[in-house]
């Protein structure tokens, strides 16, 4: 509905309704906002409580994990773990001056130098080899020593024997000596602080010139097969790379844990406390050391802190972090957003301070769902409230419009009645007082009285018929009727009153008979109303056209005028009761506003339809469409 229509009276009533609606919508919106804010506060508190519970659970899990690691470490101190254990990190066991690593391949080199070898048994043979330049006699001396039952002596003799044989070009015999060392005949004996087996593997790779042998040597070095110092490891690794042609560097991850041992060897080897734990940093990476010791034995477990905190930090949608005493994050991720639950090392007896925070705090998924549901409810309620106010206002305006139209109708009908009644009264007074000047004038007065009486009768009958139609009690008597005769009879009724003004009604139709089953009286009323409207709304039009014919198996009766026309916005409304078009108001044409409504009722009762073709300034064509020869009961 256009805004100007809403601004018409009653403005005060509509203003009050709008104000009440606005206040109600504002109150509901404020209530919804407060409810959402309260829901957010409650959910925030719940989220804090859940986060605190998550932190307590993480502390309990972390303490349990560390306690379990300590118990396993105490067991491994007495009984070595199975091959490949532990799954994470490195276990070092020091007993009676010896160091063992498990899993062995994770310790590529170690800082503890081997004790100096006792080479006195080889003094005489080395004098023959180096000072007297008697390789033959040196070979014999080394061969005698190679039969010793002492592994270290036998290993040193075989390596020195192979060395002399290589100098004297006895490659096959040198190879055989190295093979005796390689095949484990001397066990784990060392020569000059270097494992004899490694020396033999290196020499055999040089003999064979095979890149495959060199690759296997490099592979064994990376598996930690021999206990080496870092210098020994780097030398033999570079030799293996040279012989194999693969000069790729060792990945930093493979040497990381060996660097931890090398850089913290003093802490590992000299701290005699029965138990202890600490976090160390190597190359900006944190490592956790935990140890247990008894007299003569010590076990140290070296792991990444996150491997111990995986279970404690397993909660989804929570950022968890372990921080050392200097504020560095040793595991997890510390979020700077939202609320954080903090558990210090002093209160938890853990080596780190734990931080638990939620990046989505406090808008959890459940909170978002509830907020959306509440927002939807408030929105729908506001929408229903606004829609209700709109329809109430529309109903008020509709009732007021009906009341206004009824008032206009009463006024129009009163005026329609007043005109013939005034004429009848004046003429009756003249005739009763015998003031008529002549018989001719008396005859004219009588004709006028008859015409006005008929007009008044038609007005009354029209109103009564319309009332019966509205009530649904109007009875129709159908009979077979020729369309041409009906049109001619209605047109003839208007000829006496329009002939004096020079106007006439032109009728035209098809030559074939158009028979229809209708109520002659009712259809005459409908057609009469259309012709009367054409005469009233086109006073300057000398000719009104009435045509009939057959269109699409229907009889069409059209009334055409050259009046002001009807706008498109009014074409449907003018068939409603008490509605009069803007042309009637502009031309000050009197009427009751029920003529076209009556036409619509009558034609619909005959199973037909009324159409309108009109444009402003181009006249109008009203067409009654009726079934051709339709039987009525």
Domain map (residue ranges) of the chain: 1-108+271-358, 110-249, 364-473, 476-627
| Residue 73 to residue 324: CA distance in whole angstroms | 23
Say if residues 182 and 174 touch (Cβ distance below 8 Å): no
* 577-633 pLDDT per residue, tens: 666 666 666 555 555 567 777 788 888 888 888 888 888 877 888 888 888 764 433
What is the structure's pLDDT at 1? 47
What is the structure's pLDDT at 622? 85
Which two three-digit tokens encode residue 88? 């994470």
Say if residues 195 and 217 touch (Cβ distance below 8 Å): no
What is the structure's pLDDT at 113? 60
The rounded Cα 205 to chain-centroid distance in angstroms is: 65
Q: Could you count the other beta carbons within 10 Å of the beta carbon of residue 33?
A: 12
pLDDT for 401 beyond 80? no
CB within 8 Å of 75: residues ≥ 6 apart = none
Strand-pairing partners, residue 285, are 282
Say if residues 202 and 239 touch (Cβ distance below 8 Å): yes
**Rounded mean pLDDT, 273-281:** 91
| Residue 308 to residue 304: CA distance in whole angstroms | 7
The SS3 assignment for 298 reads: strand
CATH of domain 110-249: 1.25.40
Strand pairing class (479-482; 515-518): antiparallel
Question: Among residues 506, 448, 518, 450, which one has the least CA distance to residue 482?
Answer: 518
CATH architecture designation of domain 364-473? Orthogonal Bundle (1.10)
Strand-pairing partners, residue 508, are 547
What is the structure's pLDDT at 37? 79
Average pLDDT, the chain: 81
On the question of a common fold for 364-473 and 476-627, the answer reads: no
User: Radius of gyration (Cα) for the chain, nearest Å?
Assistant: 59
| Residue 334 to residue 250: CA distance in whole angstroms | 32
**Fold type of domain 476-627:** Heat Shock Protein 90 (3.30.565)
Say if residues 353 and 344 touch (Cβ distance below 8 Å): yes
Q: Could you count the other beta carbons within 10 Å of the beta carbon of residue 277?
A: 14
DSSP-assigned letters across all residues of 257-320: HHHHHHHTHHHHHH---SEEEEEEEETTEEEEEEEEEETTEEEEEEE-HHHHSTTTT--TT-EE
Say if residues 409 and 593 touch (Cβ distance below 8 Å): yes
Burial of 384 (0-12, 13-18, 19+ CB in 10 A): exposed
Q: How big is the chain, counted in residues? A: 633
What is the structure's pLDDT at 631? 44
pLDDT band at residue 309 using 50, 70 and 90 as cut-offs: very high
| Residue 386 to residue 463: CA distance in whole angstroms | 40
| Residue 224 to residue 237: CA distance in whole angstroms | 11
Say if residues 9 and 397 touch (Cβ distance below 8 Å): no
* 341-395 pLDDT per residue, tens: 999 999 999 999 999 987 654 455 555 666 677 777 778 787 877 877 777 777 7
């Amino acid at each position: 509905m256009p805004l100007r229509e809403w601004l018409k009276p009653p403005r005060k009533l509509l203003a009050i309704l709008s104000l009440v609606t606005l206040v109600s919508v504002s109150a509901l919106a404020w209530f919804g906002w407060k409810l959402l804010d309260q829901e957010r506060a409650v959910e925030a508190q719940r989220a804090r409580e859940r986060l605190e519970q998550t932190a307590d659970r993480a502390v309990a899990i972390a303490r349990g994990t560390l306690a379990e690691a300590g118990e396993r470490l105490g067991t491994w101190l007495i009984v070595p773990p199975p091959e490949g254990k532990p799954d994470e990190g490195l276990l070092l066991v020091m007993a009676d001056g010896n160091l063992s690593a498990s899993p062995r391949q994770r310790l590529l080199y170690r800082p503890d130098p081997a004790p100096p070898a006792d080479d006195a048994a080889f003094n005489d043979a080395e004098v023959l080899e180096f000072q007297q330049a008697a390789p033959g006699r040196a070979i014999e001396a080394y061969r005698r020593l190679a039969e010793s039952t002492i592994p270290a002596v036998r290993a040193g003799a075989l390596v020195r024997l192979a060395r002399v044989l290589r100098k004297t070009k006895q490659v096959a015999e040198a190879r055989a000596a190295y093979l005796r060392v390689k095949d484990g005949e001397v066990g784990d004996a060392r020569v000059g602080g270097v494992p004899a087996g490694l020396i033999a593997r290196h020499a055999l790779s040089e003999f064979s010139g095979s890149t495959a042998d060199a690759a296997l040597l490099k592979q064994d070095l990376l598996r930690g097969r021999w206990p080496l110092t870092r210098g020994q490891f780097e030398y033999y690794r570079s030799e293996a790379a040279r012989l194999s042609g693969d000069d790729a560097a060792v990945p930093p991850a493979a040497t990381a844990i060996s660097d931890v041992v090398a850089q913290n060897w003093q802490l590992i080897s000299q701290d005699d406390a029965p138990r202890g734990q600490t976090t160390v940093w190597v190359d900006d990476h944190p490592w956790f050391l935990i140890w247990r010791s008894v007299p003569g034995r010590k076990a140290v477990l070296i792991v990444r802190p996150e491997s111990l905190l995986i279970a404690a930090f397993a909660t989804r949608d929570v950022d968890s972090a372990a921080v050392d005493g200097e504020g560095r994050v040793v595991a997890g991720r510390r979020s700077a957003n939202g609320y954080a639950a903090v558990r210090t090392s002093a209160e938890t007896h853990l080596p780190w301070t734990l931080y638990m925070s939620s990046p989505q705090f406090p808008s959890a998924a459940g909170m978002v769902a509830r907020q959306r549901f509440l927002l939807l409810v408030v929105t729908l309620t506001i929408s229903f409230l606004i829609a209700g106010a709109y329809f109430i206002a529309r109903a008020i305006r509709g009732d007021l419009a009906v009341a206004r139209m009824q008032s206009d109708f009463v006024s129009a009908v009163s005026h329609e009645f007043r005109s013939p009644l005034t004429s009848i009264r004046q003429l009756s007074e003249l005739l009763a007082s015998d003031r008529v000047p002549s018989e001719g004038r008396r005859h004219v007065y009588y004709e006028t009285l008859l015409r006005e009486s008929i007009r008044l009768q038609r007005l009354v009958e029209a109103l009564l018929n319309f009332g019966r139609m509205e009530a649904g009690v109007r009875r129709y008597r159908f009979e077979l009727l020729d369309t041409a005769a009906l049109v001619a009879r209605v047109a003839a009724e208007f000829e006496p009153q329009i002939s004096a003004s020079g106007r006439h009604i032109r009728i035209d139709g098809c030559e074939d008979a158009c028979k229809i089953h209708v109520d002659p009286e009712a259809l005459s009323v409908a057609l009469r109303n259309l012709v009367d409207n054409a005469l009233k709304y086109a006073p300057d039009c000398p000719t009104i056209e009435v045509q009939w014919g057959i269109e699409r198996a229907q009889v069409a009766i059209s009334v055409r005028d050259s009046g002001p026309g009807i706008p498109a916005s009014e074409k449907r409304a003018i068939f409603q009761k008490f509605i009069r078009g803007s042309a009637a108001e502009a031309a000050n044409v009197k009427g009751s506003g029920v003529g076209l409504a009556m036409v619509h009722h009558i034609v619909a009762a005959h199973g037909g339809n009324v159409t309108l073709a009109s444009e402003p300034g181009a006249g109008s064509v009203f067409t009654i469409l009726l079934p051709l020869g339709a039987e009525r009961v």
